[in-house]
Amino acid sequence: MNITNQNQQDPENYTADQNKQDTNNTGLSPNMSPVTYKKEEPLLVRAVVDNFSAFGVGSILYGLFFCFCIYQNFMAVTSVLLCAATIGYVLFCFKKLSIKTDNKRWFFIISICLLGLSNMLTDSVVLAFLNYVGIILLFFCFLLRHFYDTKEWDFSKFCSALSRTIICSVGRFNYPFKSLQQYLKEHRKRKNTKIYYVFLGILIAIPLLLVVCSLLLSADVVFRSFSDRLFSGLFENIDFGTIFAVVFTICFGMFSSYCILIELAFQDINPVMENKKTMEPIIAITFSSILTVIYLCFSIIQIAYLFIGNMKLPDGYTYAAYARQGFFQLLFVCLINLVLVLFCQKHYRENKVLKTILTIICGCTYIMIASSTMRMLLYIASYQLTFLRIFVLVSLLTLAICLTGVVISIYKSSFPLFFFMTVTVTVCYLLFSLARPDAITAAYNCQRENVDAYYLSDLSLDAVPAMERAGVFDADGPLNGEAYNQILENFREASHKKSGNMSPRKFNLSVYRADRILNK
């Protein structure tokens, strides 16, 4: 059940009785006196500010736990704990604000936690980066669908709402201080008024002091030298750089959690999708039919020449050259077709002829996706497997499934296309992430006649178990001499460096397994 913007009342007609009624609807204690607000502040914002004892303390605790999990520790067991804690804190906020969730919440919760788990299972920095991008996108999608009615949203609307939420959250930076001031004003003892203001000023000064001092110390050598002499011996064993980084991480987790909540509570994004199907369909029929003729000719050639013709190539062409020459162009055309079909659906009035043409374009796009896949497989067979090539194959599979949803939406306007594509992209990426591409790459490349030792040595520690099964670390394995020594030395050095610093907080299963294999 999504929260609608119930607070859109006429500011001039907003009475004290309505304010009292709104306060009771937020679940506040009847003994707590209502806070004086600006008239334009929505109901949920008032609920967050009035419950600062819960949301403020919750954000502080979250900031501390965020720092514990993430500080210099992006790929470890704490990644799972952070995902679980984030979801837990969000559900806590929903409960305090009386926001109900539906069964679809489990898809987002499980997916986010699995991406966090993937960070503990991998040593690949690139994969971990992609995992965090996925976690952030799913997290915001989860939040937006509970504060807004997103059933009719498309990809462009979600991107717009996501960008606005992130940017405007930065603009709410003053709200933690504002909420604290309001909270202290309601709960302070009258005789200690100035003490609370002093306390508030100190709280504001601490983060500013840390930032300003660090900048001044790095900006002027004389000032830094003077500071060193002034505090000589006092902070001898203290690393101010580490302290600043820790405090910054805590503040980032604390302020971001509270500011994002406040921004969402404003609910100032219009959730209604405007009906933009006002353009004349004859225009779309004209340009799309011209493209369709070209696509049909290309598709017939692909079927007759590439698929049925046993992939016979023209004279002078190798499989690798043929595959590399056309793959990226075809992939780009597939993406253009997907955007084109979605654009026509959104902006042109419904027309049976246009629907038929768009369906034919989708059918031709399927053939182009199949052609792109075959070309990539040819290229892999001629050379070797890489992280990027696995990612491309998964992307083609994802594109094909998403295209199926697009075809359904052409004839069924009520089809939840955005949610379907969200699930498709998430599931396909989870399979890619949890499969550990470097391990698949090593297993495939080690079976080839000519093993590229240089490329293998650049893989992450995810590849070590697969390389052990292929006998790469055996003296009589597929590698010998300098190549064997180079790979063994590189992986042992990486394993020793990472496992030596691996505390329970930094536990990573991939590093642990690699260390046991390389040092047994």
* Residue-wise DSSP of 78-108: HHHHHHHHHHHHHHHHHHHTT----TTHHHH
Q: What is residue 447's predicted lDDT score, i.e. its pLDDT? A: 84
130, 105 contact by CB (below 8 A): no
Q: Give tens-digit pLDDT for 46-104.
A: 888 888 888 888 998 999 999 999 998 899 999 999 999 999 999 999 998 888 888 88
Calculate what percentage of the chain has a pLDDT beyond 90: 32
For 310, the token pair is 């046993």
The answer on pLDDT for 110 being more than 90 is yes
- Of 89, 58, 67, 82, nearest to 135 (Cα)? 82
Q: What is the average pLDDT across 109-136?
A: 95
DSSP per residue, 476-493: TSS--HHHHHHHHHHHHH
The residue among 5 and 161 whose pLDDT is bigger is: 161
Among 158-167, 203-212, 495-504, the range scoring the smallest mean pLDDT is 203-212
Q: Is 3 helix (H, G, I), strand (E, B) or coil?
A: coil
The answer on pLDDT for 24 being more than 60 is no
Q: What is residue 56's predicted lDDT score, i.e. its pLDDT? A: 86
DSSP for residue 471: T
Q: 443: Cβ–Cβ under 8 A, 6 or more apart, which residues?
A: 466, 469, 470
What pTM does this model have?
Answer: 0.80
The answer on pLDDT for 344 being more than 80 is yes
Which span out of 31-45, 118-132, 440-454 was modeled with the highest average pLDDT?
A: 118-132
Q: What is residue 375's predicted lDDT score, i.e. its pLDDT? A: 82
Q: Give the HSE-up count for residue 342: Cα atoms under 13 Å, Cβ half-sphere.
A: 19
Q: Strand pairing partners for 279?
A: 348
Q: What is residue 256's predicted lDDT score, i.e. its pLDDT? A: 92
Q: What is the average pLDDT across 158-182?
A: 86
Give the CA dihedral 195, 196, 202, 204, nearest 10 degrees: -160
Q: Give tens-digit pLDDT for 309-326.
A: 555 666 666 666 666 667
- Listed as own residue / partner, the contacts of 394-397 with beta carbons closer than 8 Å and 24 or more positions apart are 394/428, 394/429, 394/431, 394/432, 396/331, 396/369, 396/372, 397/428
Q: Taking all residues of the chain, what is their mean pLDDT, rounded to a whole number?
A: 81
Q: Strand pairing partners for 348?
A: 279
Q: What is residue 349's predicted lDDT score, i.e. its pLDDT? A: 87
359, 289 contact by CB (below 8 A): no
Give the CA dihedral 489, 495, 501, 504, nearest 10 degrees: -170
Q: What is residue 509's predicted lDDT score, i.e. its pLDDT? A: 94
